């Protein structure tokens, strides 16, 4: 299949058509740009489809976020309100995005951001979520090329010699795919499963329940929750970035099963949950203040459990 030229030298207000679903794709890379600080304000999305180690299709489209643009965001991606007036809304392109991403391994550079945009946009429009696995190319680069000066996409692409028109969503998606392919080559990996096995990583997973929007804000534990639930009456703290949900959603989820959120680990806390985006750093000895506090409490004999997000989800 020929590579579709997405026209990186054209105006960003004229993105090219997104690819169609490609059966048997090895992975799909994605990139979002947002209108403001909200992750539910997607104003552009780029897609790159990889099959057998080759980018076979790529494209991008603008999205009308139906919200205010911040000058800061526009200065970064050069997308202005007037550029998206006639663009489709997120819910209008979701059937095509869902067909591209469902059941695939999805790659993004700083996956917590892009998957957060995906999740919150789906929740905003009350759409049906999908199943997928995910990989963060930033995380891969940081582990494999430890001598790089920085790990932003622009720095990594410069070090690897990858083409990039930064913050054009289609170019960013294709560059993220290139980083993953370069990582596979650097480690001599036959496929992504082999690469992750060599690194001791685990794929992050999302399912339809991960896309359900939840009311947020302070919530008291559900007094009628199942007392046999493993988290019932537990006092839980969180640290690091989670792939599966926002911090506020996590607070609401534990309240539903009768647990209570505590801001910081202490002698009263039963569990510290570390977001999967940061769990590898924790295992490598890079610790936040909360992690250090929890470790000290354990060493002093307090019964506080430290667990990864994926284990927390299993309990939840």
Q: Which CATH number fits domain 27-210: 1.10.150.80, 3.30.420.10, 3.40.50.800, 3.40.50.620?
A: 3.30.420.10
Burial class (CB in 10 A: 0-12, 13-18, 19+), 161: exposed
In this prediction, residues 215-226 reach a mean pLDDT of: 74
Domains 27-210 and 215-315 share a fold: no
228: number of Cβ within 10 Å: 6
Percent of the chain exceeding pLDDT 90 equals 51
For residue 125, what pLDDT is reported?
Answer: 93
Cβ proximity of 140 and 280 under 8 Å: no
What are the pLDDT digits (tens) for 70-83? 998 999 999 999 99
For residue 218, what pLDDT is reported?
Answer: 56
What are the pLDDT digits (tens) for 281-294? 666 667 788 888 99
In this prediction, residues 23-36 reach a mean pLDDT of: 88
Q: 217: pLDDT confidence band, cut at 50, 70 and 90?
A: low
What are the pLDDT digits (tens) for 236-264? 999 987 767 778 888 888 988 899 999 89
Helix (H, G, I), strand (E, B) or coil at 43: strand
Alpha-carbon distance 58 to 269, whole Å?
Answer: 47
Alpha-carbon distance 18 to 230, whole Å?
Answer: 44
In this prediction, residues 154-181 reach a mean pLDDT of: 93
Token pair listed for 111: 């996956």
Calculate the CA dihedral of residues 147, 150, 151, 152 and round it to 10 degrees. Answer: -160
For residue 1, what pLDDT is reported?
Answer: 31
**This model's pTM is above 0.85:** no
Alpha-carbon distance 302 to 79, whole Å?
Answer: 52
Alpha-carbon distance 147 to 163, whole Å?
Answer: 21
First-to-last CA distance in the chain?
A: 44
Max alpha carbon distance in the chain (Å)? 62
Q: What are phi and psi of 108, to 5 degrees?
A: -150, 155
Best CA proximity match to 200, nearest among 278, 283, 134: 283
Best CA proximity match to 46, nearest among 28, 65, 61, 27: 61
What are the pLDDT digits (tens) for 46-67? 999 999 888 888 999 999 999 9
Given the DSSP bridges, would you call strands 132-136 and 235-239 parallel, antiparallel or unpaired?
unpaired
For residue 260, what pLDDT is reported?
Answer: 93
Alpha-carbon distance 277 to 247, whole Å?
Answer: 13
For residue 227, what pLDDT is reported?
Answer: 87
Domain extents in the chain: 27-210, 215-315
Q: Which CATH number fits domain 215-315: 3.30.1330.60, 3.40.50.10190, 3.40.50.720, 3.40.50.300?
A: 3.40.50.10190
48 strand-pairing partners: 29, 58
For residue 179, what pLDDT is reported?
Answer: 95
Alpha-carbon distance 116 to 96, whole Å?
Answer: 18
128: number of Cβ within 10 Å: 11
What are the pLDDT digits (tens) for 94-107? 999 999 999 999 99
Residue 301 has pLDDT above 80, yes or no: yes
Best CA proximity match to 37, nearest among 68, 75, 78: 68
Token pair listed for 251: 């607070």
Which single residue is written with the structure tokens 């920085």? 150
Least confident of 74-83, 163-172, 211-220, 241-250: 211-220
């Amino acid at each position: 299949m020929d590579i579709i030229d997405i026209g990186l030298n054209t105006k960003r207000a004229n993105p090219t058509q997104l690819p169609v679903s490609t059966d048997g794709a090895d992975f799909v890379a994605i990139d979002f740009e947002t209108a403001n600080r909200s992750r539910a304000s997607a104003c552009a999305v780029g897609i790159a489809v990889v099959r057998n180690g080759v980018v076979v299709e790529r494209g991008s489209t603008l999205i009308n976020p139906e919200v205010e643009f911040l000058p800061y965001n526009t200065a970064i991606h050069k997308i202005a309100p007037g550029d998206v007036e006639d663009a489709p809304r997120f819910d209008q392109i979701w059937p095509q995005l869902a067909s591209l991403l469902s059941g695939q391994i999805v790659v993004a550079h700083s996956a917590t951001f892009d998957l957060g945009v995906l999740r919150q946009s789906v929740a905003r429009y009350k759409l049906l979520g999908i199943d997928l696995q995910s990989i963060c190319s930033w995380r891969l680069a940081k582990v494999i090329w430890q001598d790089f000066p920085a790990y932003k996409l622009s720095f990594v692409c410069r070090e690897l010699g990858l083409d990039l028109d930064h913050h054009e969503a289609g170019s960013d998606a294709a560059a993220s795919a290139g980083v993953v392919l370069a990582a596979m080559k650097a480690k001599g990996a036959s496929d992504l499963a082999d690469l992750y096995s060599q690194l001791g990583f685990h794929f992050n997973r999302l399912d339809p329940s991960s896309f359900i929007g939840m009311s947020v804000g302070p919530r008291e534990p559900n007094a009628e929750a199942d007392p046999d639930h493993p988290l019932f009456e537990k006092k839980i703290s969180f640290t690091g970035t989670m792939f599966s949900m926002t911090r506020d959603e996590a607070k609401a989820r534990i309240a539903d099963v009768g647990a209570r959120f505590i801001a910081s680990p202490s002698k009263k806390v039963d569990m510290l949950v570390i977001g999967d985006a940061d769990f590898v750093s924790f295992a490598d000895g890079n610790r936040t203040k909360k992690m250090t506090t929890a470790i000290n409490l354990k060493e002093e004999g307090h019964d506080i459990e430290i667990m990864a997000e994926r284990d927390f989800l299993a309990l939840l």
